[in-house]
Amino acid sequence: MNAPALSQARCGDCPIRHRAVCARCNADELEELDGIKYYRTYEAGQPIIWSGDVMNFVGSVVSGIASLTQTMEDGRTQMVGLLLPSDFVGRPGREGAAYDVAATTDVVMCCFRKKPFEELMERTPHIAHRLLEMTLDELDAAREWMLVLGRKTAREKIASLLAIIARRDATLTPGGATNRMVFDLPLTREAMADYLGLTLETVSRQISALKKDGIIELEGKRHVTVPDMRRLMEEAGDDSDGGFLG
């Protein structure tokens, strides 16, 4: 893979409150991170890691959206996770990457060199603890997605995805989830298809159908208004919190 632009920065520069390790960005042990932490930026479409590559860093997404995908020899692909700001990338204690990671939009990552990070983890149990919690969250999310992939119809799949994206935006928006929600799709139709185990044509058709039925409104191809979140949730086939972020 190609080498993206790399910039060094002190911890205090962390632009957001990270959910995991970086959540400690202003805390005591952070002093120890000087010199092992840096930022990287990736352009939309760029690969971040290839499955099987040796990963010599861990990190978390600062801005933008990255995707985890698995690929078969014949080219069939399945997206197995979406990485949103504050999500963690990397597997302490593992050598290689398990899946392809790519930037879906422009992405800024906050990285830590792996070795020192692991040593830090040894010394500070609550970091390991936080990491375990995040991993459990991701596991829940992945298993919830298994239900979507295995048992839901195309329409339900689309509604589930829209609900997740809306809910994600809600957590980033002061005020949070309301009945009416407005957001931009951060994914192409093709990426949505890869996420949902569908073809892009089916994605397009089902979005059109949801629009025709008044479940959503569309402005351009990406800007979505959901006039009534409850109706969208019904279309998704369950009332569950349904939060796949992993």
Partner DNA sequence: GTTCCCGGTTGATCTGGGTCAAGGATGATG
Partner DNA sequence: CATCATCCTTGACCCAGATCAACCGGGAAC
Q: Which stretch binds a copy of itself (CB under 8 A): 1-9, 54-62, 208-216, 232-240?
A: 232-240
Q: What sections of 152-199 are H helices per DSSP?
A: 154-172, 189-196
* Alpha carbons within 13 A on the beta-carbon side of 98: 10
The enclosing H or E element of 83 equals strand 77-83
Out of DNA, a copy of itself, none, what residue 33 binds, judged by CB under 5 to 8 A for its kind, is none
220 binds, among a copy of itself, DNA, none (CB under 5 to 8 A by kind): DNA
Report in angstroms how near the CB of residue 198 gets to DNA at its nearest: 4
Nearer to DNA by C-beta: 80 or 121?
Answer: 80
Residue 222 touches which member of a copy of itself, DNA, none, C-beta under 5-8 Å by kind: DNA
Cβ nearer to a copy of itself, comparing 14 with 120: 120
Task: Scan residues 134-163 and list those touching DNA (CB under 7 A).
Answer: 153-155
Q: CA 245, CA 66: separation in Å to the nearest integer?
A: 11
* Closest C-alpha to 237, from 158, 176, 179: 158
Q: Which residue in 10, 17, 115, 151 binds a copy of itself (CB under 8 A)? A: 151
Helix (H, G, I), strand (E, B) or coil at 3: coil
> 229's torsion region: left (phi>0), alpha (psi -120 to 50) or beta?
alpha
Angle between helix 189-196 and helix 154-172 axes, rounded to 10 deg: 110
Beta-strand pair 66-71/100-103: antiparallel
Q: Which of residues 218-237 bind DNA (CB under 7 A)?
A: 218, 220-222
What is the binding site for a copy of itself (CB under 8 A)?
Answer: 68, 70, 72-74, 76-78, 80-81, 91-94, 98-99, 122, 125, 128-129, 131-133, 135-136, 138-140, 142-147, 149-152, 196-197, 237-239, 246
What is the binding site for DNA (CB under 7 A)?
Answer: 153-155, 188-190, 197-205, 207-208, 218, 220-222
